[in-house]
């Protein structure tokens, strides 16, 4: 029970429910879970190229020859890669920052390992850098910094659009998002 409590949001009560379920009703599931956890804890590492979580040296995206290496999408976390993969038809490659520039927390370019991204840009394959950091103050600062890195190398950089969520109603949207959506309007 104590071991299950390392999961986020699992307190003593939920931990005991999970433990009883696994031991009393689902021994097979418990063994599968144990094997999967062990394999993940031993085998998962960061992809050499994009730093996404991967079991192999190169993740499946970086290893796929059909992906377009001239499009590089920069995101903050592995969860962002998953979200983009599931929701969009993006066929380029990724670079995972594993964080964002946050000077007030002491996270600067060297703490983020941006030299790896610079090296990637210097390889010369990338034609467009897609900045998909979060629309927070730190995400914007990060995007600005990365755009400067790209500009210096003559690489086009684009920022993902921010706006009204699908199925949303303007009335309930916060002012900042609405202002962004308005200033970023485009011709139809």
Partner 1 sequence: MRVELEAAYVLHARAYRETSLLLEAFSLQHGRVGLVARGVRGARSRTRALLQPFQPVLLSWRGGGELATLSGVEAAGPALALQGERLLGGLYANELLLTLVARDDAQPALFAHYQALCAALAAGTPIEVALRVFERDLLDALGYRLLLAQAADGSPLQAALRYRYVADEGAHPASGVDDGVPVAGASLLALGRGELADAAARADAKRLLRAQLERLLNGRRLRTRELARALLGGARGEPATSSIPEGAHRR
C-beta closer to partner 1: residue 128 or 140: 140
The residues, ordered by sequence, that sit 6+ positions from 99 with a Cβ below 8 Å of its Cβ are 76, 77, 107, 111, 112
Would you tell me which residues interact with partner 1 (CB under 8 A)?
A: 8-9, 101, 103-106, 108-110, 136-137, 140-141, 144-145, 148-149, 151-152, 172, 174-177, 179-180, 183
* DSSP state, residue 24: I
Strand order across the 156-159 sheet: 92-96, 68-75, 128-131, 156-159
CB of 92 to partner 1, least distance (A): 24
- What residue ranges in 19-165 does DSSP mark as E strands? 45-46, 53-54, 68-75, 92-96, 128-131, 156-159
167 vs 175 by CB, closer to partner 1: 175
Residue 31 CB, nearest approach to partner 1 (Å): 29
Residue closer to partner 1 (CB basis): 118 or 128: 118
Instruction: Give the nearer residue to partner 1 in terms of CB position, either 93 or 142.
Output: 142
> In angstroms, what is the minimal distance from the CB of 175 to partner 1?
5
To partner 1, the closest distance from the beta carbon of 88 in angstroms equals 18
Sign of CA dihedral 163, 79, 115, 105: positive
Tokens of 101: 């520039």
């Amino acid at each position: 029970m104590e071991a299950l409590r390392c999961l986020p949001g699992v307190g003593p009560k939920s931990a005991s429910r999970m433990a009883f379920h696994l031991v009393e009703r689902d021994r097979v599931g418990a063994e599968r879970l144990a094997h999967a956890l062990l394999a993940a804890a031993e085998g998962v590492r960061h992809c050499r190229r994009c730093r996404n979580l991967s079991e192999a040296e190169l993740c499946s995206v970086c290893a796929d020859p059909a992906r377009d290496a001239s499009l590089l999408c920069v995101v903050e976390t592995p969860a962002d890669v998953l979200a983009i993969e599931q929701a969009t038809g993006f066929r380029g490659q990724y670079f995972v920052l594993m964080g964002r520039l946050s000077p007030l927390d002491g996270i600067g370019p060297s703490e983020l390992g941006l030299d790896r991204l610079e090296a990637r840009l210097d390889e010369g394959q990338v034609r467009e850098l897609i900045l998909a950091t979060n629309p927070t103050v730190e995400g914007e600062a990060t995007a600005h910094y990365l755009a400067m890195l790209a500009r210096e190398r003559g690489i086009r950089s684009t920022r993902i659009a921010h706006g009204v969520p699908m199925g949303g109603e303007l009335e309930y949207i916060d002012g900042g998002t609405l202002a962004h959506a308005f200033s970023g309007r485009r011709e139809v």
